[in-house]
Amino acid sequence: MSELVEITENVVAITSGWSGGNVGGIALDNFSVAVDTTHNFEKGTQFRNSLETHFGLPVKYTFLTHHHSDHANGLNAFRDTKIVSSKKTGQKVRSLTKLDTYPTEITTNEYTREGGDIHVELVHTGGHTSDSSYLYFPKDEVIFAGDLLFENYLFFAGYQSDPCFWINVLEHFKTLKPRRIIPGHGPILKNTSDLDKHISLLYSFMEVIKTALNNGIDPRTLETPDFVFAASDRIPEEELTKWFKRTVRSWHRKVPP
């Protein structure tokens, strides 16, 4: 398997793509927590074993950032842990997956779990999907962003995605002044200034849709704008066009004119 990368003494992650979506773990005083679960049972089991070996602590809690299969489908490997998610993630895991393990501790907004003198926080925000959440570890100033961040990847506007919520949470990340931000896909961000390109891309999308609406044009009929190609020069034009059309279909009713 792809090895865990040590982010701090208490935080590890796998960001190589081996696990589907990025996954990670945090050591509290006498137990550890897993953040997301990989995309299948076999890799979820390997990931859990490596976490417990690395920290020398059992995984007691599993946190889900959202319901997408590349983050949640390894959940059965964590069936004996306390599984924490937003209420919406819990509902979607039950209704949209074939798993027989589900979140057991639900939050509608914010959840804090203490482990001795240190704690982690799960915050439900929406954005990438309606159930998107992020995990914050204040002691080491580390954010697990889930798919609120795709570093060196094109973002994916999931079911009931909302660009306004998405931008707000990325701006909020800046106020936390994290030392490291672990995205849902791609390498780790080391500076909050790295968030600016993501925010700029989301704003650019919103402006294209807003301009079309203000001119009585259905945004779904638009040609792919130049900024998409400029931001993604390693991806074939045909794929970029499909991505743009899919995102506009997801957002054309979410952007205020």
Token pair for residue 119?
């704690």
> What is the mean predicted confidence (pLDDT) over 173-180?
97
Q: What is the tens place of the pLDDT at every residue in 110-138?
A: 999 998 889 999 999 999 999 999 999 99
Q: Which residues contact 176 (CB under 8 A, 6 or more apart)?
A: 136, 141, 143
Please give the model's pTM, rounded to 2 decimal places: 0.96
Q: How far apart are CA 244 and CA 193, in angstroms?
A: 25
Percent of the chain with pLDDT over 70: 99
State the average pLDDT over residues 148-170: 93
> How far is the CA of 46 from the CAs of 51, 74, 138, 159, in angstroms?
9, 10, 27, 29
What is the distance between the alpha carbons of residues 244 and 138, in angstroms, rounded to a whole number?
A: 36
End-to-end CA distance of the chain: 48
* Model confidence pLDDT, tens digit, residues 23-70: 999 999 999 999 999 999 999 999 999 999 999 999 999 999 999 999
Q: Does domain 5-190 have CATH number 3.60.15.10?
A: yes
Q: List the chain domain ranges.
A: 5-190, 200-251
